[in-house]
Amino acid sequence: MGNFYTDNKDIKFHLDHPLMKKIVDLKERNYTQAQEFEEAPKDFEDAIDNYDRVLEIVGEICADVVNENAESVDEEGPKVVDGHVKYARGTRQNLDVINQAGLNGISLPRKYNGLNFPIVPFIMAAEMVARADAGLQNIWGLQDCAETINEFATEEQRMKYLPRVSAGETCAMDLTEPDAGSDLQAVQLKATLDEKTGIWYLNGVKRFITNGDGHISLVLARSEEGTNDARGLSMFIYDRNSDAVTVRRIENKLGIKGSPTCELVFKDAPAELVGDRKMGLIKYVMALMNAARLGIGGQSVGIAEAAYREGLSYAKSRKQFGRPIIEFPAMYEMLSNMEAKLHGIRTILYETARFVDVYKTYYFVSKERALDKDEKAEMKEYEKLANIYTPLQKLFASEYANEITYDALQIHGGSGFTKDYPIQRYVRDARITNIYEGTSQLQVVAAIRGVTTGQYLKYIREVYETSAIAPEQEYLKDILKEMATELENATDCVTAVGNTEYTDFHARRLVEIAGYTIIGHLLLIDAQRDEVYAKSADIFIKYGQAKVAAHTAFIRNFNPDDLGKYKKA
């Protein structure tokens, strides 16, 4: 009997973060919910106990059921039968066990039979599911679509759909089309309103839709005839019970094989408008994708955790030249860097999730009562932080999941290249994380404003640099201070040229400098709460310092006139 929660103290460490008190107090409306719902916690400790209990159940199911099924799911994959998806046998068993344990509607209000959990423990559960089977995490994690329904749909729609999600019905997020990938403004799937009945009908094709045959789908469609940009797009709910969407095919993919990636044909599919017309991409998809990007962060950390453990265990058991390979500097350096990166992406993941929790919870409270001046200011501040941290965490978590799985396979030598070990699956599964929910390049596009407007730097200096650090770790704080200065100087150096294309050219370097500095600070702060993280803080900060030096040297030595040498078209 394994348990992916109790065998990993890092998750509990983040659940015990000091900001959780504020989040839980807000989420439980100062525990007044206990008067209405018997299962609601009576105080903060009761709430944390409850999260602990549920995460322990998730951890047990992940270790004993989902992880055990992962290999067969990877082999078998889903199929299309009569225009619908049939999951692999192991996936069906996994979902049955998850449903029986009541692990759906995790973050939905109790009124809709949800558990009313903050985003933080929801992402912790997602991380564990992904450690066991990254493809299943896609299917199960799509319950975050319900968050968007909760936020923007009418009460009638919420009552109609949300209890179904809590009961285990699955969701899908239908955005991408053959000619609309990174650029969702190009979406063409047509939405037509029947004026007599007030029902919308959808016609067209969607591509690459995860769990496209899910029970409840959020669909981005063009509702305004004659438009070609974002302002002509609206968001709709499609209910599979209407049976007007066919799965034309499932992609034959490199990884996350248990997750059906569907091409869908909509033929006069009846649908309900969510919120206001024309706000589909501008408002609702942005909210939907920000939640989904946290989910991919959780998925990346889960895969990285699985890969790190495999790498470590193999390096301890494999002997060459008469010694366990873990004794060779090349191996232990790799493993220590992997561990530091893993701790780093986990800490920025939960920092971001906390920011999202605070502002979203204030948003829902504001629908019940007027917020006071301080609360309003706090909501705004955390929303800004959530917006700038979300792309940064998605970028680093997904890129590091790839690096960690790559290194873990290398540690396995030739055995890593065979199907005898799960590491090849982790490498394949990790590869999608920096592509979907916005590629890494698009995360940089989203994050660069946080650099050029000085928002990251402001937060680093106002909050992280003023945090109390143990005297013996002051040297790390000094390095981080230098890295923040490098961020400022490199940004000035790039923006002084006054050319947007030039800023775009260096954007990835600048965003990464911000990321190394922020993750370094977070690890150092973690090390103040638990000395276990002191080693990772030291290793990561010095690793980041070297990366920053390379990036800043490139920027400083770059002649803006040389941009032309790189152009291919």
Ligand X SMILES: Cc1cc2nc3c(=O)[nH]c(=O)nc-3n(C[C@H](O)[C@H](O)[C@H](O)COP(=O)(O)OP(=O)(O)OC[C@H]3O[C@@H](n4cnc5c(N)ncnc54)[C@H](O)[C@@H]3O)c2cc1C
Q: Which residues make up the interface to ligand X (CB under 6 A)?
A: 173-176, 181-182, 208-210, 253, 261, 432, 435-439, 441-442, 445
CB-nearer residue toward ligand X: 4 or 87 = 87
CB-nearer residue toward ligand X: 432 or 523 = 432
Residue 407 neighbours by CB under 8 Å, 6+ apart: 311, 334, 337, 338
CB-nearer residue toward ligand X: 171 or 469 = 171
Distances (CA, A) of 381 to 306, 366, 499: 35, 15, 30
Q: Which residue has the tokens 């030249």?
A: 321
Distance CA 374, CA 378 (A): 6
Beta strand 245-250 pairing with 261-274:
antiparallel
Q: Which uninterrupted H or E stretch holds 192?
A: strand 190-194
Nearest-approach distance from CB 138 to ligand X, in angstroms: 7
CB 171 within 8 A of CB 143: yes
Q: Which residue has the tokens 């190394």?
A: 516
Nearest-approach distance from CB 123 to ligand X, in angstroms: 18
CB-nearer residue toward ligand X: 443 or 491 = 443
CB-nearer residue toward ligand X: 371 or 435 = 435
CB-nearer residue toward ligand X: 182 or 418 = 182
Nearest-approach distance from CB 217 to ligand X, in angstroms: 10
Distance CA 271, CA 57 (A): 36
| Selection from 176, 430, 210, 139 nearest residue 299 by Cα | 430
Taking the CB of residue 54, how many other CB atoms lie within 10 A of it?
21
CB 240 within 8 A of CB 214: yes
Nearest-approach distance from CB 436 to ligand X, in angstroms: 4
Nearest-approach distance from CB 175 to ligand X, in angstroms: 3
CB-nearer residue toward ligand X: 175 or 388 = 175
Instruction: Quote the longest CA-to-CA distance of the chain.
Output: 81
Residue 86 neighbours by CB under 8 Å, 6+ apart: 78, 79, 80
Beta strand 323-324 pairing with 261-274:
unpaired
| Half-sphere exposure for 183 (CA within 13 Å, toward CB) | 7
Distances (CA, A) of 361 to 23, 262, 333, 365: 8, 33, 42, 6
Q: Quick one: how far is CA 307 from the chain centroid?
A: 18
Nearest-approach distance from CB 236 to ligand X, in angstroms: 14
Q: Quick one: how far is CA 213 from the chain centroid?
A: 22
CB-nearer residue toward ligand X: 438 or 520 = 438
Nearest-approach distance from CB 383 to ligand X, in angstroms: 24
Grouping H, G, I as helix, E, B as strand and the rest as coil, residue 4 is coil
Distance CA 264, CA 241 (A): 15
CB-nearer residue toward ligand X: 182 or 485 = 182
CB-nearer residue toward ligand X: 149 or 457 = 149
Beta strand 233-239 pairing with 261-274:
antiparallel
Nearest-approach distance from CB 261 to ligand X, in angstroms: 4
CB-nearer residue toward ligand X: 144 or 339 = 144
CB-nearer residue toward ligand X: 230 or 331 = 230
Grouping H, G, I as helix, E, B as strand and the rest as coil, residue 169 is coil
For ligand X, the nearest residue by Cβ is 181
Positive or negative: CA dihedral 50, 108, 22, 123: positive
Q: Which uninterrupted H or E stretch holds 218?
A: strand 216-222
